Structure 1
Amino acid sequence: MEDHKQTEITQPQPLLDDQGHLLNPGYCKRNHYIYNKENIKKHRWRIKEWDYYMISDGRYMTELNFYNISIFAAMIADVIDLKTGKHYNDLVMEPSYPDKYKMSHAADKPFQFSYYKFGRKAEFITDASSHKLFFKGKYRRKDFKIDITGKRLPDQESITVATPFKNPHCFFYTQKLNCIQAGGTIKIAGQTIKYDPKDTYMVMDWGRGVWPWRNTWYWSNGSTVIDGKLFGFELTWGFGDESAATETAVFYDGKCHKIGRVSLEKDPEKERWMKPWHFISEDGRLDLTLTPGYHRSNGLIFLKLIGMKSNQVFGKFNGSVLLDDGTRIEVKEMPAFAEKVYNCW
């Protein structure tokens, strides 16, 4: 497996130069990039921005996602009972343009985003230590409400990556916030689902960028408590030129431990999605196996020209990781997910 550089950005700096090129590809444990969106000159109608939250206690998985990809915008709410497979969702989609919605310039900085369309209401409120999520919509003509608050540790680190592509005007800029303990309620179809912060975790996937039409990526993420400390991992690869940094990290007690590139021992698409996924890192610090318990195939690519197709599995992770100081963390029956996604948009 080829070793990759891990170029750490440690000082505040602009993301893009005057021509819209990435100035310094790399990663941050705290987001030091300044998102100067106004410098995007070419492909402006290809700008993509989203705020995505996933919340799960191992039984119920909730997704709240707002994205604006210039030609259209969408607000999506999903709840899945991972035990029974029951799926509840609501979706609003509308034509859009690059600057129709003002979205945040960093995932963990104070910001309030509100969306009101077609009888739906959504609010994402970020402050110094929390994320408050609210959604009101419909499921089969009945009220569908989500009200969840996630709390970050004081001075918590994350992983931010700025990734280039062959086209110098393309880039991917993302920040992942892990190990957010979450609590709240979901009211849907005559039932109330309650999330207890003791065993419920939130991840925020915050993304901005301009990239080529066709892409494939792998993503796996999870959080839990091990030995009384918050533990999590962020594993993403296959998207853009990762020679300066990979989007791979382990989190423990609020600190980010950067690891090398991660890959799968076998392609799950060829091996069947519900067989174990074995994740290993090039530096030998991560060795985890996911045993799937639930598989979701989602999306469609129309005429091989536009759309998204994902295969996402939820299950239990077992294995070990090494922290920066050599401490070995044993992972046992940790609920988390992994996915492989193709997209043309």
Structure 2
Amino acid sequence: MSEEDSFAVLDHGRGKWPYSVTWNWAAGSGPGRAIQLGGKWTDGTGVTENALFVDGRLHKIGDELEWAYDRADWLRPWRITGPRVEAEFHPFHEKAARTELGVVGNETHQCFGHFSGRAQADDGAWIGLDGLTGWAEEARNRW
């Protein structure tokens, strides 16, 4: 893989977190393209983590997204949609982690798979997401 086709995400928590919080997060990449999508913990704040990266340019997606997935079967396809995102995520592997320590707890389901669909760049062009490889997760925390 070339440097131009390599991508990374940074998880940098910030601010004051509520005692109980749930979030969704996803990212995928392929030659010349990458996507990062988030939700739930930023809902209603006017801030999002959503972006499309195409040929060296970052396109901010400021819309809140809808996440639909089956909590009884994490390997079923996930749908992530909004005005500029029409994505489906097809998992091939699930990693689950759970900790329960009374008032403190965590449950995370992180799935690895492939994306399909499309996302809209700032200039209005729809960019295909088919074949991007990545992950999607739901995390529930009490801390």
TM bucket (normalised to shorter chain) is: 0.7 to 0.9
Which residue of structure 1 aligns with residue 116 of structure 2? Answer: 318
Give 1:233 shift. 1.4
Give 1:333 shift. 1.7
Are residues 1:299 and 2:101 paired?
no
Give 1:197 shift. 3.9
Give 1:294 shift. 0.4
Which residue of structure 2 aligns with residue 258 of structure 1? Answer: 60
2:128 to 330, 336, 341: 330
Which residue of structure 2 aligns with residue 206 of structure 1? Answer: 12
Deviation string, structure 1 residues 89-127 (Cα, Å, up to 9, x no partner)? xxxxxxxxxxxxxxxxxxxxxxxxxxxxxxxxxxxxxxx
Give 1:292 shift. 0.6
- Structure 1 residues 344 and 290 mapped into 2: Cα distance closer, same or farther (>3 Å)? same
- Structure 1 residues 332 and 256 mapped into 2: Cα distance closer, same or farther (>3 Å)? same
> Structure 2 matches for 1:53-68, cutoff 5 A?
none
TM-score where L is the length of structure 2: 0.87
Relative contact order, higher structure (CA 8 A, sep 6+)? 2
- Structure 1 residues 240 and 290 mapped into 2: Cα distance closer, same or farther (>3 Å)? closer
Deviation string, structure 1 residues 22-45 (Cα, Å, up to 9, x no partner)? xxxxxxxxxxxxxxxxxxxxxxxx
Which residue of structure 1 aligns with residue 49 of structure 2? Answer: 247
Q: Match of 2:75, SS?
A: coil
- Structure 1 residues 277 and 267 mapped into 2: Cα distance closer, same or farther (>3 Å)? closer
> Structure 2 matches for 1:114-193, cutoff 5 A?
none
- Structure 1 residues 197 and 309 mapped into 2: Cα distance closer, same or farther (>3 Å)? farther
Which structure's CA Rg is the greater one?
1
Q: Match of 2:12, SS?
A: strand
Q: Is the 8 A contact 1:276 1:290 kept in 2?
A: yes
Which residue of structure 2 aligns with residue 341 of structure 1? Answer: 139
Q: Is the 8 A contact 1:301 1:344 kept in 2?
A: no
Q: Match of 1:325, SS?
A: coil
In the alignment, the residues of structure 2 paired with residue 237 and residue 268 of structure 1 have an alpha-carbon distance, to the nearest angstrom, of 16
Deviation string, structure 1 residues 161-197 (Cα, Å, up to 9, x no partner)? xxxxxxxxxxxxxxxxxxxxxxxxxxxxxxxxxxx44
In the alignment, the residues of structure 1 paired with residue 44 and residue 94 of structure 2 have an alpha-carbon distance, to the nearest angstrom, of 28
In the alignment, the residues of structure 2 paired with residue 242 and residue 222 of structure 1 have an alpha-carbon distance, to the nearest angstrom, of 25
Please tell me the residue identity of whatever aligns with 2:137.
E
Q: Is the 8 A contact 2:38 2:50 kept in 1?
A: yes
In the alignment, the residues of structure 1 paired with residue 33 and residue 126 of structure 2 have an alpha-carbon distance, to the nearest angstrom, of 12
Give 1:209 shift. 2.5
1:238 to 31, 40, 52: 40
- Structure 1 residues 297 and 238 mapped into 2: Cα distance closer, same or farther (>3 Å)? same
| Gap regions ≥5 residues in structure 1 | 1-195
Q: Is the 8 A contact 1:301 1:343 kept in 2?
A: no
Which residue of structure 1 aligns with residue 69 of structure 2? Answer: 267
Please tell me the residue identity of whatever aligns with 2:55.
D
Give 1:275 shift. 0.3
Please tell me the residue identity of whatever aligns with 1:273.
W
Q: Is the 8 A contact 2:7 2:34 kept in 1?
A: no
Q: Is the 8 A contact 2:42 2:48 kept in 1?
A: no
Which residue of structure 2 aligns with residue 290 of structure 1? Answer: 89
Q: Is the 8 A contact 2:21 2:41 kept in 1?
A: yes
1:279 to 65, 71, 80: 80
Deviation string, structure 1 residues 200-259 (Cα, Å, up to 9, x no partner)? 53222222222111111111112221xxxx321121111145332222221222322222
| Gap regions ≥5 residues in structure 2 | none
Identity %: 30
